[in-house]
Structure formats: C-alpha cells, structure tokens
Amino acid sequence: MNFGHPINPHLSNKFSQINSAIKNNDRKFIKRLIDCKVCFSPTEEGVCIELPFVLACELGHLEIVEMLIKHRSDINLDIDEFLEEEFWDEALTGLMAASGRGHIQIVRNLIRAGANPNIQTCYGETALSFAARGGHVDVFEELAPLVTCMDSEHIDIIRRIAESELKLNFRHKSQ
C-alpha cells in the first residue's frame, strides 16, 4: 500500500483497503495505518459501505477495536460517529453494532471510552434495542442502566410480557 496517497475509508466497490484489513482481522496492517496517522473517519463524499470502526465492532475484532480506541485522537476517530444524510437509515454506531452481535467486551470497552448509549437511529433504536433484538441478555443488562431515552410504550409492553404467563411463540437462534 502506498501511504503517500490519501485513503478514503468509505469508498470502494465492496470494501476499502481499511475495511478489507478489518474484515480479515489484519492487526499488523491496521497498526501500520495507525502509526501513519491514517484517518479512519469519512472526510470526503462517496458511497458508504461501512465505517471501519463500526465494522470492527460488528465483527467482534476486540484487539483492533482497542487499538482504534487507544489511538482515536491520532486518527481522527469519533467513536459515536455514524453517517447521516442519505445513509442515515442504515447507519449504526460501533456500540449499536457490537450490541446487536453480542460482543460484550467490546460494548464494555466502548462504554468505558465514553460511547453514548443513548444515540438513536432514525427509527429510534439504541444500542439497547439492538441487544434486545439479538437476544443478548448480558449486553442488555450492561446497557439498561445507562439508557435514558426509551419509549415509555416499549417499557410497558416489555413489563406486561415479563409479568404475564403467556406462552409466546419463539424462534430458536439456530433457525
């Protein structure tokens, strides 16, 4: 890779060089990029595939996430960043992505680093919503005390289901 040319982390056919390295859990390559102070946040217009940081959180690459958090000021990384504008309905924060996949240690590290659990998608979903939908009880329990922006109607529904003796249909995670 030629470090003399700017890298746009969110432009590519499918994955940029950064996203490919993250997808392949190539910690050495990511470390070289960090050492070269490559910007991991979008700075140009283009077609969004995925933000590298969010992808690392989603895939559960703990060591890469830790490296990016540690060096975030060097690489211009906002851990709560997600694309707005035309991609807003598909955009997630790293915390949302990790919560939805059940990566509890990444969730804990992000919270310690100051990630905001109250950021909402355009549909009002938070990291807590993603944890609940994924059935990740440990992540849900980690986030629940931190969330201050939950729709009161949802709380009432959850409470009624929990208190009822309903035999709800459920789908096994392997199905």
What's the pLDDT score for residue 5? Answer: 39
Secondary structure, 3-state, 60-96: CCHHHHHHHHHCCCCCCCCCCCCCCHHHHHHCCCHHH
Residues 6+ apart with CB under 8 A from 35: none
Q: Does 169 reside within a domain? A: no
Q: Does 40 reside within a domain? A: yes
What's the CATH code of the domain at 106?
A: 1.25.40.20
Instruction: Give me the average pLDDT of each 10-residue run along the chain (175 residues).
Output: 42 62 93 84 53 90 94 73 57 90 97 90 86 91 82 59 57 52
- 155 sits in which H/E element: helix 152-163
What's the pLDDT score for residue 60? Answer: 97
Domain count of the fold of the chain: 1
Q: Does 7 reside within a domain? A: no
Amino acid identity of residue 124, one-letter, is G
What's the pLDDT score for residue 64? Answer: 96
Cα separation of 37 and 128, whole Å? 32
Cα separation of 143 and 38, whole Å? 31
Task: Tell me the residue range of the domain where 153 lies.
Answer: 17-163
Q: Does 137 reside within a domain? A: yes
CA of 57: how far to CAs of 5, 49, 96, in Å? 26, 15, 9
